[in-house]
Amino acid sequence: GDSVTQMEGPVTLSEEAFLTINCTYTATGYPSLFWYVQYPGEGLQLLLKATKADDKGSNKGFEATYRKETTSFHLEKGSVQVSDSAVYFCALSHLSYSGAGSYQLTFGKGTKLSVIP
Amino acid sequence: GAVVSQHPSRVICKSGTSVKIECRSLDFQATTMFWYRQFPKQSLMLMATSNEGSKATYEQGVEKDKFLINHASLTLSTLTVTSAHPEDSSFYICSARELGRGNTEAFFGQGTRLTVV
């Protein structure tokens, strides 16, 4: 079945440092790929997504490129801020073929990022 | 963007009682809603998928008689934890997919922290 593997945390960086959080996946076909962010005490928010190979998702200075050849979707940001401290989840989804149009997300375990001033 | 509201955000209940959690799509109609459970320092685990007007589909290992899901309208799904036990204490998150949307994006509620004492 589908699976997502992302780097273990926690990751602690100084403000303005470069961030990379690795994510690789195993899936059949051509899934859509996502990064979600969870701030303390809150639910998940979609950060960015890519729906096909070589697509680059970007938002709030974060970027990730869908690499089919390496089955990866690494998250990067050139200069992190304290406000970026959160847990980041890589995820993938397929459309199911049940006819109901349902789909489900498969998540990685999450990587906690702490940015210190 | 689309908004999903989950209520309550926190609840404490006694062992043996039942707790209902509501998930509402505020500005769109949700064909499908998903319920996830998140253990501390773990990823989100899909519990069940519900389509409006039909029975929920539960993931393997999830007791359908314990976690009752009702998706009575296109804007509301409820999860009832029946005869709650301390091991049911967890963070529960719902998500919803918009009717008619061709993409695979889902929107998440803020989550409910359930503590069973």
Q: Which residue of B has its CA nearest to A94?
A: B104
In this predicted structure, what is the pLDDT of residue A102?
A: 47
In this predicted structure, what is the pLDDT of residue B104?
A: 55
Chain B interface with A: residues with Cβ < 8 Å = 6, 31-32, 34, 41-44, 46, 49, 51, 54, 57, 93, 95, 97, 103-111
In this predicted structure, what is the pLDDT of residue A97?
A: 42
Mean pLDDT by 10 residues, chain A (117 residues): 88 97 91 90 87 94 96 97 96 60 75 96
In this predicted structure, what is the pLDDT of residue A13?
A: 97
User: Which of helix, strand or coil describes residue A67?
Assistant: strand
pLDDT in tens, B75-90: 999 999 999 999 999 9
Q: Best interface-test mutation with A: which of B71, B105, B113, B115 has the largest number of A CBs within 10 A?
A: B105
Cα–Cα distance measured from residue B114 to residue A89, given in angstroms and rounded to the nearest whole number: 22
Residue numbers in chain B where pLDDT is lower than 50: none
In this predicted structure, what is the pLDDT of residue B35?
A: 94
Residue B65: phi and psi, rounded to 5, are -80, -15
Pairing status of strand B90-98 against strand A75-77: unpaired
In this predicted structure, what is the pLDDT of residue A57?
A: 96
In this predicted structure, what is the pLDDT of residue B87?
A: 94
In this predicted structure, what is the pLDDT of residue B3?
A: 83
User: How many angstroms separate the Cα of B75 from the Cα of each of B1, B3, B24?
Assistant: 16, 11, 5
In this predicted structure, what is the pLDDT of residue B51?
A: 84
Does the distance separating the beta carbons of A32 and B104 come in below 8 Å?
yes
Residues of chain A with C-beta less than 8 angstroms from the C-beta of B109: 43
Does the distance separating the beta carbons of B46 and A103 come in below 8 Å?
no
Residues of chain A with C-beta less than 8 angstroms from the C-beta of B51: 100, 102
Q: How big, in percent rounded to 5, are the helix, strand and coil portions of chain A? A: 5, 55, 45
In this predicted structure, what is the pLDDT of residue B92?
A: 95
